[in-house]
Structure 1
């Protein structure tokens, strides 16, 4: 099942790359401050770490983009809650992320708000421990990415946003405050 899902995502992504409705192609690179939180935290636990992601941006319309992505999130527990008090709760994520999402954006120069959602898989190690949950899982699980933020600049080639990956099978979500840059790809036919 896992191999079939990976193959399906690869096939769907590769078919979009040369689709005729794609007007422009770009690469987007993001880096950020990563976090993981359990769904049912009592102590308001927030574990932090590092996040990075690369996306192939396929612009269909000025307001719609298809974005296959690959990323990495590394979040470890520091043993403290959001107020700095000691806690036994934790939500750790050490995973490679791959999938696809769709971005809806306001086609405005200088400051363009956006929202995006999609589907993907995470391969790595996850641990969620709260008063109600004790899950340790390694391997491949699915996730649901949701992001929102602002594209900045005259050509909207910088972005500032929040991205989240909901992991229902391990009852936690990972996320990041991200900074990104988009680099246009040259068209071979021009």
Structure 2
């Protein structure tokens, strides 16, 4: 654990790659198919819309700290509960937080992974058979994880899988998104 912390501190304090060109700040706009899933049995899912806007400050060629805000709207898929009634897993949440993107240094297609955390504000509903969780509006903590590809000569197009894990609600949510990054 201590060795990992020392390694991360050394990497973070290393001088920036001076060969990097382009702006240090970008705004990323991502949107696509949103989903929610109950994390226990029976499995239940919902589908809808996922949108996220990120403020990116490039620290290094391979590490980008990000602040994000977004919206997830998903409705019940009654067929996903294998005949169990009622069947309602849904999210109507806004979310915000901080993430870090670790990106591979390849040309034209750069795979990346992101991790971070934040808060979700809104309604997360779980009603499956005898399980009923109050769908009232609340503030929930979440863990944010993403995998994807930055595509193009300037890597301005993102294709990603974004996940929000809500441990206190036994639900995971997220989106399969397409996005563009706008330098400024």
Please give the TM-score of this superposition, normalised by the length of structure 1.
0.79
1:130 matched to which residue of 2?
128
2:111 matched to which residue of 1?
113
Aligned partners of 1:127 and 1:135 also within 8 Å? yes
Secondary structure of 1:176's counterpart equals strand
Root-mean-square deviation (CA, aligned residues, Å) is 1.7
Secondary structure of 1:50's counterpart equals strand
Aligned partners of 1:24 and 1:58 also within 8 Å? yes
User: Which 5+ residue runs of structure 1 have no aligned equivalent?
Assistant: 1-20, 186-190
C-alpha displacement of 1:134: 2.2
1:33 matched to which residue of 2?
33
2:46 matched to which residue of 1?
47
C-alpha displacement of 1:131: 4.8
User: Which 5+ residue runs of structure 2 have no aligned equivalent?
Assistant: 1-15, 17-22
Aligned partners of 1:40 and 1:132 also within 8 Å? no
Distance (whole Å) between structure 2 residues aligned to residue 47 and residue 73 of structure 1: 11
User: Residues 132 and 146 of structure 1: is their aligned pair in 2 closer, same or farther, counting only changes over 3 Å?
Assistant: farther
Please give the TM-score of this superposition, normalised by the length of structure 2.
0.82
Q: Which one has the largest radius of gyration?
A: 2
Distance (whole Å) between structure 2 residues aligned to residue 133 and residue 104 of structure 1: 39
Aligned partners of 2:84 and 2:128 also within 8 Å? no
Aligned partners of 1:41 and 1:130 also within 8 Å? no
The count of corresponding residues between Structure 1 and Structure 2 is 161
Aligned partners of 2:156 and 2:180 also within 8 Å? yes
Aligned partners of 2:28 and 2:180 also within 8 Å? yes
Match runs of 1:67-78 below 5 Å: 67-78=66-77
